[in-house]
Amino acid sequence: MEVRDLASRYQAALPSLLDHPFSNDSYTFRYTATERTKDSAQAYAEGVFGPSAPVYLPPAHDPDPLLKFYEVCPKYVQEVDENPEAVEERNLFIQGPEVAEVVTRVSQHLGVPLDYGDVELLYDACRYYQAWSPDVPSAWCAAFTSADLQVMEYIEDLHHYYTAGYGYPINYQMACPPLSDVFSHFRNVVEEGNSDPKGVFYFTHSKALLTVMSRLGLYRDSQPLTHSEVDPERQWRTSRHSPFATNLAFTLSSCPSNQWWVSVVEGERVVQVNGCESTLGCTWEEFVHVFTPFLDCDLASICQVDEGGTDPQDESTFITSAAPVVKVG
């Protein structure tokens, strides 16, 4: 329902791109080899083209180096995915006083002794039941105060910061394939004069989207997130930029005087691209300057395992620039 409604809003916002009958030449879909991303692709197609439109959804790639590049990246697997140190800050926070206070409050509220595992289960029940029935308050959420929920949120933030954000350089270094793909599609329009496809729609997972956001320099705090200090004004808040139906959209527009304009949208909000003067997007010249480095995207080389390993927060190869589930071009 959420993805279908999202698609309807994008169609209303971009009628010149999306208010057309479906054809294989004009619109392409791609999803990962999972049921939920295929269902999301189907729901999005229904939101744009209607429930009875003959939309073609090609078989998924497995493995998929474009949408699940992290699964084919040995360096990421070794340094992050299978590295216990990648979740150390999260675990230290769970063992700290803030979480202990939440466990105590929830136990007192419900009148039964609980441990952290119980509270975590209640937290998951709270948010999933609320998502499944958005119009009905989840009874499980009554176990928590607003302050409790913010503590539980920070546990998620720490986890994703180090496994898909700025905690380890390989997280964002490996996230160039989707951005290289965006650049290639747009360049085919501007430099080659190709009018199709009008829309390219990708459906993937939170890890892919968060690493792409990090590659673009979005939601980056001046100091790394740690277990010892919770910044209530931090930019990295996954409840805001990585909810269900997280979406990134890149749009290319033709403007008067034969000019081209690129806008970047996250969560249906326009975001400023580092390196572009306007808060609303980029001229074509600015976009080329910012995105050209993404064309040098040798994933095999990037993901080659270093014998010496890589330390967290090594910024030596970080590329800053902007703000696909959804990529419209």
Per-residue pLDDT reduced to its tens digit, 163-206: 999 999 999 999 999 999 999 999 999 998 888 899 999 999 99
Q: In this model, does residue 285 exceed pLDDT 60? A: yes
Q: In whole angstroms, what is the distance from residue 29 CA to residue 204 CA? A: 11
Q: In this model, does residue 315 exceed pLDDT 80? A: no
Please list, residue by residue across 230-267, b when 16 or more beta carbons sit within 10 angstroms of its beta carbon and e when fewer do: beeebebbbeebbeebbbbbbbbeeeeeeebbbbbbbb
Q: In this model, does residue 257 exceed pLDDT 50? A: yes
Residue 63: per-residue pLDDT: 95
CA dist 243 → 128, 176, 206, 267 (Å): 11, 22, 8, 9
Percent of the chain exceeding pLDDT 90 equals 81
Percent of the chain exceeding pLDDT 70 equals 93
Q: Which residue has the higher pLDDT, 314 or 133?
A: 133
Residue 207: per-residue pLDDT: 96
Q: In this model, does residue 209 exceed pLDDT 80? A: yes
Q: In this model, does residue 56 exceed pLDDT 60? A: yes
Tell me the domain boundaries of the chain.
Answer: 2-76+170-327, 86-161
CA dist 287 → 24, 29, 48, 215, 321 (Å): 28, 24, 27, 15, 9
Q: How sure is the predictor about 318, in pLDDT bands with cuts at 50, 70 and 90?
A: very low
For the CA atoms of 222, 225, 230, 236, what is the dihedral angle to 10 degrees? 70
pTM to 2 decimal places = 0.89
Average pLDDT rounded to a whole number, residues 206-214: 96
CATH architecture of 2-76+170-327: 3-Layer(aba) Sandwich (3.40)
Average pLDDT rounded to a whole number, residues 95-123: 97
Q: In whole angstroms, what is the distance from residue 237 CA to residue 218 CA? A: 11
